[in-house]
Amino acid sequence: MTELLTAAQMRAIEQAAIAAGEVTGLELMERAGQGVVAAIFEQWPELDADLGCQAGEAAPRPQVSPRGISGQKMGGEASRRAVVLCGPGNNGGDGFVVARLLKERGWDVEVFLYGPPDRLPPDAKVNYERWRAIGRVIEWTAQQVGEEAADLFVDAIFGAGLKRAPACEILEPLTKLYTEGKTFARMVAIDAPTGLCMDSGRALCPEFGAVWSWLTVTFHRPRIGHFIDEGPSYCGAMRTVDIGLGGHDWGEAARQAVADLHRLEKGRGMGRVVATLMSPELVSPYLGKETDEHKYTYGHALVLSGGHGRSGAARLAARGALRIGAGLVTVGAPRAAMIENACQLTAIMLRQMDGADELRTLLQDSRLNAVCLGPGLGLDADREGLVLEALQANRATVLDADALTQFEDRAEALFEVLHENCVITPHGGEFARLFPDLAEKLNAPATTGPVYSKVDATREAAKRAGCVVLFKGPDTVIAAPNGLCSVNSAHYDRSAPWLATAGSGDVLAGVITGLMARGLDPMQAAETAAYIHVECALNFGPGLIAEDLPEQIPAVLRKLDIF
């Protein structure tokens, strides 16, 4: 299981390990630098050659064209040049370690320092001195940095300690390097791209954003900001390096520090400290079927259809519910949409159902244990009655799309009737309609950190709504009223841009409903569905349309070893 930490929590873990005498700050910094160098060569094996140079020996500069670096020769006369950009804190300290380690491998290394050396914190100062014994440090000037050329740029300017937007003189030359194509080759960020808030994935500088990196190397556990909002775009690729802080075995002092933090964050109404990154181990283990069970064991899901010409979304949801293994699925359609539904449904059953009264009658059948409303439901006046009727019936309920938009000016009326066996699945627009104040905080320009994040907003929304909230996006965040929170990331090696297609959200709502019909609790159903949804897209690949998603579920279940 991967926990996503806040920057403060990571700091508490480090400090507690140091205070407990398990490790020194200097040792951690050395391991961090070693980890970064190892990650660089893993990412770009072509850089990992014995250059046959002695430390201190000058190597020829590479030629730079607007498209990147050219003209390096390999073999005995090869050269590699790195520009290491160090900042005034321990992130800069990591940079000095990387500079030294690259130099020891025969690289030509140029180091820039932003800020006065005598203000460096102790561990960074030690590594500054170690570097000074073998190389020079150039005082930062925007002009000189902007003219650099190298095989590799290392961003060690700011990491976890970033408090506010970096000065223009820092980001502007780096932006220039990028737009001129000089860092197209390789920019590696230590811990985080400079300018990125590690708790929220938001860039703090409105003008220049953060440093665009090709690789970001972080330590111990990734931070929330590496996986949400703009974080993944700035980070490029992500690697997490073990620096010997152990699993959770940081000693009593660390436990205490984390417990303190937990209390602190609870005091701010933030619930649990960590969010979890969705991974295969977190998919519910109860998705298989037993030989001696029958269809009613696996529940009966009801999906409400919209009117004439608007029924496709409900069928997509119903198909998702059936494929994930609900025993039976029924589409409840108004009279006007009966024929079109009847023409296109086979294994899925169809019932005519006009209005709230008929829904009440239908739900007298206690075997109908999960309901999905919203996909294609429409915004006609009588639709609200359907939603309220379904919620009063106290079934496992998924509300999506129009079922949420119905309540845009009266969210409180919805929150009053939502119960703990519900999941709501808003996208950004729907979230803003239901939680306008949270959306405003989330979208407010941010220049000082830590910035209010999508994780914070989803947690607050879940608490307010009194049910599980799945806030959609490539960085889907799922939170329960008790503060449990997870992130289902469709970034990095799970990047699935093809999910941005009409109807994919309808399938997701249906899969959650199917899982709840099977008896999963709302949080587990939402997490599992979100994970499988992305896996389906990855399994299909380019050209995906929503109809393809449910058809990928069997292959995904098999891949997850679920039978």
Ligand X SMILES: NC(=O)C1=CN([C@@H]2O[C@H](COP(=O)(O)OP(=O)(O)OC[C@H]3O[C@@H](n4cnc5c(N)ncnc54)[C@H](O)[C@@H]3O)[C@@H](O)[C@H]2O)[C@@H](O)CC1
Strand ordering across the sheet containing 368-373: 2-4, 275-277, 485-489, 475-479, 468-471, 422-424, 396-399, 368-373, 300-304, 328-333, 349-352
Q: Which residues contact 284 (CB under 8 A, 6 or more apart)?
A: 515, 520, 524, 525, 528
With residue 331 as reference, give the H or E element that holds it.
strand 328-333
Tokens 């996909």 correspond to 375
Look at residue 424 and give the partner it binds from ligand X, K ion, none, a contact being a CB closer than 5 to 8 Å depending on partner kind.
none
Residue 282 CA, distance from chain mean position: 15
Considering only CA atoms, give the Rg of the chain.
27
Look at residue 155 and give the partner it binds from ligand X, K ion, none, a contact being a CB closer than 5 to 8 Å depending on partner kind.
K ion
To the question of whether residue 472 is assigned a binding role by annotation, the answer is yes
Nearer to K ion, 190 or 480 (CB): 190
Is the alpha carbon torsion for 125, 192, 532, 521 positive or negative? positive
Rounded to a whole number of angstroms, the minimum distance from the CB of residue 201 to ligand X is 15
Nearer to ligand X, 122 or 497 (CB): 122
Chain contacts with K ion (rule: CB under 5 A): 155, 159, 189-190, 194
Nearer to K ion, 194 or 276 (CB): 194
The single-letter code of the amino acid at 13 is: I
Look at residue 121 and give the partner it binds from ligand X, K ion, none, a contact being a CB closer than 5 to 8 Å depending on partner kind.
ligand X
Rounded to a whole number of angstroms, the minimum distance from the CB of residue 136 to K ion is 21
Question: How far apart (Å, rounded) are the C-alpha atoms in residues 458 and 476?
Answer: 10
Sketch the per residue contact string, 171 through 210, with ligand X: x for CB under 6 A, - otherwise: -------------------xx-------------------
Q: How far is CA 460 from CA 406, 437, 474, 547, in A?
A: 21, 11, 20, 33
Look at residue 14 and give the partner it binds from K ion, ligand X, none, a contact being a CB closer than 5 to 8 Å depending on partner kind.
ligand X
Sketch the per residue contact string, 289 through 328, with ligand X: x for CB under 6 A, - otherwise: ----------------------------------------
Q: Which residues contact 92 (CB under 8 A, 6 or more apart)?
A: 86, 113, 114, 115, 120, 124, 128, 156, 157
Q: Which of 54, 527, 478, 20 is nearest to 281 (CA)?
A: 527
Task: Please identify which residue in 2, 13, 25, 187 interacts with ligand X, judged by CB under 6 A.
Answer: 25
Query: Per CB under 6 A, which region of 23-31, 258-266, 300-308, 336-344 contacts ligand X?
Result: 23-31
Rounded to a whole number of angstroms, the minimum distance from the CB of residue 158 to K ion is 6
Asked if 213 touches ligand X (CB under 6 A), the answer is no
Tokens 């803003």 correspond to 432
Nearer to ligand X, 194 or 486 (CB): 194
To the question of whether residue 476 is assigned a binding role by annotation, the answer is yes
- Site for ligand X, rule CB under 6 A: 14, 25, 28-29, 32, 87-94, 121, 123, 158-167, 190-191, 219
Residues at the binding site for (6S)-NADPHX are 90-94, 191, 313, 376, 427, 506
